[in-house]
Chains A and B, each alone.
Chain A
Amino acid sequence: MNSLRSVRFRISVQYSAIVFGLGGALIGLIYLAVLSQLSVSPAPADSISGRTIVLDTGELVTIPEMSELEIRAVETMFRDTVLSEVGRYSVIALVALFFLSLAVGWIMSGRVLRPIDEITRLASRIQAFDLSGRIALTGPDDELKRLADTFDRMLDRLDRAFSSQRRFLADTSHDLRTPLTVIRSNVELVTEDPGATVDDWRRAGEIIQRNAEKMSRMIDDLLAAARLQAGKAQAVTLDLEDLVLAKADEYGPVAEDAGLRLAVVSESVTVEGVEMSLDRAMTNLLDNARKVAPAGSTITLACGRTGNWAWLAVADQGPGLSDDISQIIGLGLSIVFGIAEGHGGTVGSFPNPGGGTVMVVWIPLVEHPGSPPRTSPLEASVS
């Protein structure tokens, strides 16, 4: 039976055994004390004969002359009666004690374990695919409340991790679908057109190749993101300014080819970070900026510190974000989010004073940095 294996059953049995054992030992001790008191050698006949005793009723009685044998007979009879009565009561007391201790043990353990049952009941309602439920145990701030609160905090962390995973998956499938559609539609257009020329086929082939390469780059990005999540331990102390300057050297020509200018605003700031990841975050932000930046405009790459936070920022002079960034997030930005979160930080977006958007990766410099600033770090550092 299930209840035989329950903690409640075991606690009540243990409790009962201890109470019963102690009670039994006490009763045994009393019995032995009585026994030893009654087994002393009989009093000499002359010390008893002729003595006057006051009875319970107040009468005075003088003990008559008795032989030693007679005294021993009376004492033996008296002792046997007392011992058998004490023994009888002891057995009754032991039996009663046995049941009483079991009952008390069962009730007490039930009271102690009730909040645990409550936690079990609430926890079983929380589903793997919906982590929004919480135990939220009420009552005094005791061990069990702390257990429930710890459980709730673990659920918070799981919930966050799962939602970011879901978001990442959704973004990934979104981004893979566009090149897939392009490939599919191009195949459809040329195969269904009986008048398609060699040039039409060649053009379709080129587009398909370009989009297949795009997809394979996305898959590389995905693998990089997965590796990043697997190996967070390689963080080292590094200066963001070094990364920014190296990136600017590498990306300057790319920006120039696209008819854009790349400006750098940097100061030395030391963080604990993974160089490869931060480099990728900058690349993705720069790529996004390049896509929206109007020809001849300037993209700014910057780093610095504000309060407890170090930051990396990329500003463009594009049309700006008219919506919540989570609405237009793509795989590239999703990876930036992942990298920021991997560093214990977050990503923010601000309107660029000169039009466009400033994307910021915040990296905490201390253990408990609080929330990151609500203003663009770029404005602060420029002014």
Chain B
Amino acid sequence: MRLLVVEDEPDLADVVARGMRRDGHAVDVAETVADAELKLRSAAYDLVILDWNLPDGSGLALCRALVDGSLPTLDGERPRVLMLTARDGIEDRVAGLDSGADDYVVKPFALAELSARVRALIRRDADTPPRLRVGSLTLDPARFEATRDGLALDLTSKEFALLHYFMINAGKVLSQEHLLEHVWDEMVDPMTNVVRVTVSNLRKKLGEPSPISTIPGRGYRLEDR
């Protein structure tokens, strides 16, 4: 999943980003509302972790703009919003959720809880159970475990993230650009063949017959049989 962390405190942004990367997400960081708006327009995020108080404005206003569509995203899909803030008053939580945030986490929080909430939001989005199952494949994002025919697969974190994304979107054709947008962060070179290479490595590890088919000129598809 592609995540945007909007937080003006560099140390906090850094530790949240590292925690999310550990979970296999592709993470970008924005430190201001302006920066966040720029990134939201130019990339397709699945989830935004948003601080309330930012140096140039309020995260709440940004959340509202995302929800009501006044801030268009690259692929027209509205990312999930998780508010991350030190405001713990009941009114603040209500205001946060009412402005369209999908979840609300109060500082100081435990990274483990933040991870779990992010997984829950992604699950809700894809309407999938905590442990995914597609054909002979299973994947448990919380335990970082994937199996085929009951045998554990030894995947790198990027391969795991890619398989996770395929399984959430099982049966759909996913283009290379789409995979690059949702599984890789902004540091990746858009001209690279990293998607092709990673898909090919993943296929090798999944074994025969390959559940991932190539649709020429369109992209890849994980067969949901």
Are A328 and B22 in contact, CB atoms less than 8 angstroms apart? no
Are B108 and A177 in contact, CB atoms less than 8 angstroms apart? yes
Interface status of B215 (Cβ within 8 A of chain A):
no
Are B34 and A323 in contact, CB atoms less than 8 angstroms apart? no
How near does chain B come to A281, taking the closest CB pair, in angstroms?
19
Contacts of A188 in B (CB 8 A): 19, 110-112
Are B56 and A181 in contact, CB atoms less than 8 angstroms apart? no
Contact with A along B1-43 (1 / 0, CB 8 A): 0000000110110111011001000000000111000000000
Are A178 and B19 in contact, CB atoms less than 8 angstroms apart? no
Nearest B residue (CB) for A292: B55
Contacts of B109 in A (CB 8 A): 181
Question: CB < 8 Å: which of A182, A193, A320 contacts B22?
Answer: A193
**Size class of the A contact interface (CB-based, 8 Å):** 20 to 34
Are B54 and A328 in contact, CB atoms less than 8 angstroms apart? yes
Question: CB < 8 Å: which of B53, B56, B61 contacts A292?
Answer: B56
How near does chain A come to B106, taking the closest CB pair, in angstroms?
8
How near does chain B come to A302, taking the closest CB pair, in angstroms?
21
Interface status of A121 (Cβ within 8 A of chain B):
no
Question: CB < 8 Å: which of B11, B16, B56 contacts A322?
Answer: B56
Interface status of A321 (Cβ within 8 A of chain B):
yes
Interface status of B69 (Cβ within 8 A of chain A):
no
Contacts of A170 in B (CB 8 A): 89
Contacts of B55 in A (CB 8 A): 291-292, 318-319, 328
How near does chain A come to B141, taking the closest CB pair, in angstroms?
16
Contacts of B110 in A (CB 8 A): 184-185, 188
Nearest B residue (CB) for A192: B112
A207 to B107, CA, bound (A): 18
Interface status of B116 (Cβ within 8 A of chain A):
no
Are A180 and B111 in contact, CB atoms less than 8 angstroms apart? no
26 contacts between A and B (CB under 8 A): A173-B86, A175-B86, A178-B86, A178-B107, A180-B108, A181-B107, A182-B9, A182-B11, A184-B108, A184-B111, A185-B19, A185-B111, A189-B18, A193-B22, A207-B15, A210-B11, A291-B55, A292-B55, A322-B33, A322-B56, A322-B57, A328-B53, A328-B54, A328-B55, A328-B57, A330-B53
